[in-house]
Structure 1
């Protein structure tokens, strides 16, 4: 019999930020969604090991795992799923080991992150140095305009309303590259892929039409981007990663306002 799913984990956290509004700058706390990796691991006397890693908000991890197994056609291969109190970011699976490991996934996300927030950042540090920024601090007015400038380069979104976009800007606000995709991470990959000959992307600003999850900041760090601008909210792990690498992370950049979650020194007062 499968044990019940444990109670929800911490969905939200509160973090100090600087906020710019029409009245000026304020120091306050903001509510941020928590993001952590979840590893699915097969337990077997011989030949077990990791199956997949996905980014998620903690809580109801067994429901998440069972739904994923069902979608992958692996429900019949699993006899038991459980978690251990000392490893909250791991779900263990027991069953048909060969069938489960045949579906093993190796992705950029799973190879870059561990099974806890600090592990994710530490492993990323082994792969990439902190991005470099030599340009002057960015004027708030320019930052506030960047999503609008990106929107002008989103014809597919304007026609369908169903795509994300990512754009690369220079410190003067000139759009250097922009791509659209149904996945925000795919759009960032396209921007980086188109700019491989220029890596690292020093003195560049990455703008996305989405929230900022860990993967967005991770991709920016690996590409050498020092400033990330998003129209949505960042997650706790995205903020931790940005702070660890000295990346400027700006969220809720819309209607002339934005929040500075990390790297405030690159924003003019």
Structure 2
């Protein structure tokens, strides 16, 4: 298994002087994902939980739908002359009944990470490819539970404490219990590792859960949540317009700018409960103003 962090010498400049000292950096290395020996994709990631990463990626792409679609996952021998495993190539063996995707240059994966598609085509692709619907999920989460998630996510980040350079994704219950956390230099990879762990553990669909991410909420992250059957995505930063479109289209609750007791609920507000009450928060998501930054009567952020 590759290292998740390394030490490098740096010239440290601070008020009052300079000094040389070692610094801990998060490792970033390429990982190639193969299907039955055929190259499919290369992603830059932090080594660790690579099998979860591969499985989560394939679920998000619609290649697999449950754990039975995957026959095997193994590391391939790397490029070293002695055949030593470099742990940077993962080969996934699919069940013979699973249709093999087109891995040519003209392949038609719908995610932006694969082919750059966007807008209506992407929304339609996710709606028609997702195995489970999240729209009718009965999840209800109190605002006090949501408010505590960023700190719980941060407290569980072991590698971040050493490097300060990793994103995190955590899967939580409606009561705020951390079910699984993964870290990576890439936000998408961290989510894939969480979803892949759930897939390989036979947890799908992930009904009644909240996916918390340390950065912004992009279209791809909403897509990955929907494909795994997760009804709510919360992020400490802003969502993109296409992320909100997909969340609305799919029935996913999307929470952004989750910082302390403040947050913006962009879609699926009925799932968010007021403190100490059984009812939803007062008010509804309103029309954006000329700057496009009004949500539920409050300025975004």
TM-score range, shorter chain: 0.5 to 0.7
- Deviation sequence 1:142-175 (CA, Å, 0-9, x none): 1111111111110111211100000000101000
**Do residues 218 (structure 1) and 220 (structure 2) align?**
no
Deviation for aligned residue 1:255: 2.3
- Structure-2 residue corresponding to 1:117: 119
Alignment of 1:183-222 (within 5 A): 183-196=186-199, 197-222=202-227
Q: 1:169 aligns with which of 168, 172, 180?
A: 172
Q: For the residues of structure 1 that align with 2:128 and 2:116, how far apart are their CA atoms?
A: 12
1:113 and 1:123 in contact (8 A); partners too? no
Deviation for aligned residue 1:109: 2.1
Q: For the residues of structure 1 that align with 2:110 and 2:191, how far apart are their CA atoms?
A: 13
Q: For the residues of structure 1 that align with 2:126 and 2:116, how far apart are their CA atoms?
A: 10
Deviation for aligned residue 1:113: 7.1
- Structure-1 residue corresponding to 2:264: 259
Q: 1:134 aligns with which of 138, 145, 152?
A: 138
- Structure-2 residue corresponding to 1:87: none
Deviation for aligned residue 1:138: 1.2
- Deviation sequence 1:104-155 (CA, Å, 0-9, x none): 77767258877441111111111114215223x2111111111111111101
Q: Which runs of 5+ in 2 are unaligned?
A: 1-40, 42-103, 274-280, 282-301
Q: For the residues of structure 2 that align with 1:265 and 1:208, how far apart are their CA atoms?
A: 21
1:113 and 1:124 in contact (8 A); partners too? no
How many residues matched? Answer: 169
Deviation for aligned residue 1:103: 6.7
Deviation for aligned residue 1:260: 0.5
Q: Which runs of 5+ in 1 are unaligned?
A: 1-51, 53-101
Q: For the residues of structure 2 that align with 1:236 and 1:228, how far apart are their CA atoms?
A: 15
Alignment of 1:4-15 (within 5 A): none
Q: For the residues of structure 2 that align with 1:244 and 1:191, how far apart are their CA atoms?
A: 23
- Structure-1 residue corresponding to 2:28: none
Alignment TM-score, normalising by the size of structure 1: 0.58
Moved segments of 4+, more than 3 Å = 102-108, 110-116
Deviation for aligned residue 1:199: 0.7
- Structure-2 residue corresponding to 1:227: 232
The root-mean-square deviation of aligned C-alpha atoms, in Å, is: 2.4
Q: For the residues of structure 1 that align with 2:156 and 2:233, how far apart are their CA atoms?
A: 18
Greater helix proportion: 1
Aligned pair in 2 of structure 1 residues 205, 263: CA closer, same or farther (>3 Å)? same
Q: For the residues of structure 2 that align with 1:158 and 1:188, how far apart are their CA atoms?
A: 19
